[in-house]
Structure 1
Amino acid sequence: MATDGEPLPEETDAPHPTFAEYAAEPVPQAAVGAPGKDGVLELTFADTAGGTALVEDYATVPFHISGTLGHDPHPDAETVFVQSPTGGIAQGDRHDITVTVREGAVANVSTQSSTKVQSMECNYAAADTTLSVEAGGHLDYVPEPTILHENARYCQDLRLELAADATAVLSDVVVPGRLARGEAFAFERYRSTVEAAGPDGLLFTDTTHLAPEEDDPTVPGMLGEFAVYGTAFVVAPDADIDGLSDAIHEVVADREARAGASALPNDAGVSVRALGHRAETVTATLRAAWNHARQELLGAPAPSGRKY
């Protein structure tokens, strides 16, 4: 531990080998681990006599929680929008997010606005997210899009742990720059891993790794003519996966964004991929998939997109 007046030591371990070189670079403004650099968010939802309630919460900068919103169409669900008083994610930031949904609870967690990963000159930024859903519970984890600014280096790892009869919907939209100002694929590296496990072990792992200077993401077979990339996972091992996959595919296939749905390995659920020229069209497509999945799994549509 550093004493007063001494800089905190830079880390030497990176979440993935491709970020190891960045990890050794000191951050002159505020070192990794300095106050405000290590954000922690912990949310716990439980089923109560009055429906789902947020029973535990803890947040440090840059996370902020202003309570819950009770506008979910599901009568027993609860919603939290995570806020940030900062301008976005900066070099050297490390975020640790934990969301727990206890037995029988229904929760929806999103962000108030898009997450902006700022331009970087050294080191990198990372987020480690753990989601746990106990028996009979359901979690929607659907943050607003992530925008990767010029020279951004960002690594995020998400692990979902499902108990028996539990379900979840995960969504992620990646915007490769500030498209309105002509910035596209100017970030340095982006890596995202989603891993889901059930009572019997691993269900699936999905990784997205984009490094425009090394591999052109606009070539055929990758993103092609499109800029914005979105994924959604409907994780429901006890559902009729073939029927759910076919139904969601019909919902997303004929939209402005180019999208499709397919069954996940190990009968884990359904994956949805969407490509588009704008974040709005990709987000709307994934939202349509989320809405259908919610009606199938919970008998209620997805909540509205209003953030108040």
Structure 2
Amino acid sequence: MAADTPEEPAGPPDGPPVPPSRRDGDAADEPPHPAFADYATESLPAAAVGSPGKDGRLELRFAADEGGETNLVRDLARAPFHVSGTLGHDPLPEAETVYVQSPTGGVAQGDRHRIDVEVGSGAVAHVSTQSSQKVLSMERNYAAADVSLSVGRGGHLDYVPEPAILHEDSRFFQAIDLDLAADASAVVGDVVVPGRLARGERFDFERYLSRLRVRRDDALLVDDATHLRPADADPSAAGVMGEFAVVGTLYVLVPVGESDALDDLSDRLHAAATGVAEADGTSAADDRRDDTVRAGATRLPNDAGCVVRALGHRAETVTAALRAAWDEARTDLLGAGAPDSRRP
């Protein structure tokens, strides 16, 4: 998690920073990580990597107008993504919300998705998904998502999608790159469900790797990853996930100069996340209960912010714990809590 120098300079002073470039000439099936190199050599029997329907693209750009209201000024969606407009239900009146939809059954082998979200100076945006992301069973190759997030001066982004459900034999790589201006903030959430738990699937996927990198002012502040391969190491071992199946992470990135308040923020995020379980009467002795959640919070390196991690038996309980922490973080950063979920 040491500082690093990005490949490209920062963007203009009034706009969002320019994220590190993806080389345009790269082959569509170039592995994003050495762990996926063998999968990349496996050809697909039907639609090839990069063919129509496999190469999803989503671009969202938010900007604040003269009155301080945030507007969605650009949206481009290529299958399997769909955007039907914005929702004005945020507790912060000037903020804007977009729910990303998908008409497909889930993420399939050979899918390559690219998501770009830019939040301009002074804008406040919330991006989520309509439903959980199903990563379908795979026989060959793998699926990958490349997510680029950037927030300009005085802006804020909440990127909190619904959980990813890893079906049997699935292989999925997700890279999230977040670039922040000095006084920008963001909240990024990630919840992973290791199978269709109601059907008895539990850690039957092949490989899952999700990596978050946060940059500010030409420096790499945070480099964190969740990498699970049940065939190599038992996720249910002590010190990994133990009795629990679902893992969730919430990253809270704060503006520069907030380091003195981070210990207090970490304590409040911890109290919020664990308070959900305590409200249900959960004790340390009943980790096998379906509604049990274990959560903790700590500071991120380089005074970047705080991270909250939660373990549970069900996606709903882990999501609830992280949502409580998100509400606390957003109140601290913006003076308004997290938007209510629009899911039924």
TM range (shorter): over 0.9
Report deviation, 1:49. Answer: 3.7
Residue 242 (structure 1) aligns with? 263
**Residues 49-99 of structure 1: CA deviation (Å, up to 9, x unaligned):** 451000001010000000000000001100000000100000000000000
Alignment check: 8 A CA contact 1:138 1:167 kept: yes
AA aligned opposite 2:31: A
Report deviation, 1:242. Answer: 1.4
Residue 149 (structure 1) aligns with? 167
Indicate yes or no: 2:32 matched with 1:32.
no
Alignment check: 8 A CA contact 2:160 2:188 kept: yes
Pairing partner for 1:135 from 139, 153, 157: 153
Residues 113, 27 of structure 1: alpha-carbon distance in 2 compared, 3 angstrom cutoff: same
Structure 1 residue ranges, 4+ long, deviating more than 4 angstroms after superposition: none
Pairing partner for 1:261 from 284, 292, 297: 297
* CA distance in 2: counterparts of 1:289 and 1:251, whole angstroms: 5
AA aligned opposite 1:81: Y
Q: Among the aligned pairs, what percent are the same residue?
A: 63
* CA distance in 2: counterparts of 1:69 and 1:307, whole angstroms: 13
Alignment check: 8 A CA contact 2:97 2:127 kept: yes
Alignment check: 8 A CA contact 2:29 2:49 kept: no
Indicate yes or no: 2:42 matched with 1:21.
no
* CA distance in 2: counterparts of 1:22 and 1:274, whole angstroms: 30
* CA distance in 1: counterparts of 2:114 and 2:172, whole angstroms: 14
Question: Greater RCO between the two (CA within 8 Å, min separation 6)?
Answer: 2
Residue 214 (structure 2) aligns with? 196
Aligned partner of residue 65 in structure 1, secondary structure: strand
Report deviation, 1:164. Answer: 1.4
Aligned length: 299
Indicate yes or no: 2:145 matched with 1:109.
no
Q: Mapping of 1:43-192 within 5 angstroms? A: 43-49=60-66, 51-192=69-210
**Residues 256-284 of structure 1: CA deviation (Å, up to 9, x unaligned):** 41001000000100000000000000000
The two structures have a TM-score, normalised by structure 1, of 0.95
* CA distance in 2: counterparts of 1:200 and 1:154, whole angstroms: 29
Residues 294, 216 of structure 1: alpha-carbon distance in 2 compared, 3 angstrom cutoff: same
The two structures have a TM-score, normalised by structure 2, of 0.85
Residues 252, 100 of structure 1: alpha-carbon distance in 2 compared, 3 angstrom cutoff: same
Alignment check: 8 A CA contact 2:150 2:180 kept: yes
Alignment check: 8 A CA contact 1:12 1:20 kept: no
AA aligned opposite 1:17: P
* CA distance in 1: counterparts of 2:35 and 2:240, whole angstroms: 20
Aligned partner of residue 96 in structure 2, secondary structure: strand
AA aligned opposite 1:281: T
* CA distance in 1: counterparts of 2:334 and 2:46, whole angstroms: 47
AA aligned opposite 1:232: L
Residue 212 (structure 1) aligns with? 230
Q: Which blocks of at least 5 consecutive residues in structure 2 are unaligned?
A: 1-26, 278-291
Pairing partner for 2:318 from 259, 277, 282: 282
Alignment check: 8 A CA contact 1:81 1:307 kept: no
* CA distance in 1: counterparts of 2:232 and 2:313, whole angstroms: 22
Residue 6 (structure 1) aligns with? none
Indicate yes or no: 2:251 matched with 1:233.
yes
In angstroms, what is the RMSD of aligned CA positions?
Answer: 1.2
Alignment check: 8 A CA contact 1:81 1:112 kept: yes
* CA distance in 2: counterparts of 1:146 and 1:154, whole angstroms: 10
Report deviation, 1:13. Answer: 1.9
* CA distance in 2: counterparts of 1:250 and 1:209, whole angstroms: 27
Report deviation, 1:306. Answer: 1.3
Alignment check: 8 A CA contact 1:147 1:178 kept: yes
**Residues 142-200 of structure 1: CA deviation (Å, up to 9, x unaligned):** 00000000000000000000001100000000000000010000000000100001115
AA aligned opposite 1:195: R
Alignment check: 8 A CA contact 2:190 2:249 kept: yes
AA aligned opposite 1:262: T
Alignment check: 8 A CA contact 2:250 2:322 kept: yes
